Every structure is written in C-alpha cells, then in structure tokens.
Amino acid sequence: RKQKDREKVDEAYGVARELVAANEDVAHLKAKFKMSSAEVGFLRSTFGHFVAIDQPGLEEGQFRDFLKRLMQYSLPDRQFRQIWFMADDNGDGLLQFTEFLIWWKGKGGEQQVAQVVAELDAEVESEKKGGKGE
C-alpha cells in the first residue's frame, strides 16, 4: 500500500513540475511576443476549453474546433492541414499551448487566420450580392 501511495505522490509531483515548466514557458513567450496578460488569458482559456482532462494538448480535431471558435468559420481541409502541420511543431499529433503560442505569434498564425477570415468574409459578401440580382 505504501508503495502505491508513493507512486501516486511521485506522479502528482511530476504533473506539478510539468505545469510549472509549462507556465514558465508561457511567461517567456508572453514576454518574447509582447502579449498582454488579457490576450494570453483569453487564448489559454479558449484553448483549455477544448483540451480533454487527461491530455496535455489538443488533438487535430480539437484544434479544428478551437480555430472554428476563434474564427467563427470552419476552415477548408487544405487550409486546415497546412495550419496543423505548421502549428504542431514537434509532430507528435498533440498541440500543446506553448506550440500554439509559437505558431500564433511567432510563425504568423494570427495573420494567417485573419487572411483566411477576410477571404471567407469576401466570399460570403460576394454570394449575398450575387443572390440579390436573381
């Protein structure tokens, strides 16, 4: 019994160490990319909403849902796949929050998403205008 209790304590300490390291990474990235606490808080909160309790990050489908929430649009598959491969930096199929921040601020993800949204908005407007003449 003592051995099992010790294993549980060791596991809890391991998780705590990982969380502290992740928070230090986020603090470093926040400073590096000159992000406000509000911006990091919003992104972390929204990101966390899609992460399963037993996972350290988002799987591909969860990331698609997360982007849909941020963008208010579903991305076409081709564009989503490009974004996924850029964002999942280590290629493990699980997007950690720090990887997301690096993609969002350091690799132009924010601008990439804004461009896609602008293109989708333009398509919607074009369809509305085309539909009025019929």
**Per residue in 33-87, pLDDT tens?**
888 988 888 888 888 888 877 788 899 999 999 998 888 878 888 889 989 999 9
The predicted structure's pLDDT at residue 20: 45
Number of DSSP helices (H) and strands (E) in the chain, helices first: 6, 0
User: Is 53 in contact with 40 (CB distance < 8 Å)?
Assistant: no
- Strands of the chain, DSSP E: none
Query: CA end-to-end span of the chain, whole Å?
Result: 76
Q: What amino acid is encoded at 65 in this protein?
A: D
What is the C-alpha separation between 35 and 46, in angstroms, rounded? 16
More confident residue, 75 or 133: 75
Q: Which two tokens stand for residue 82?
A: 């490009």
For 27, the token pair is 């603090």
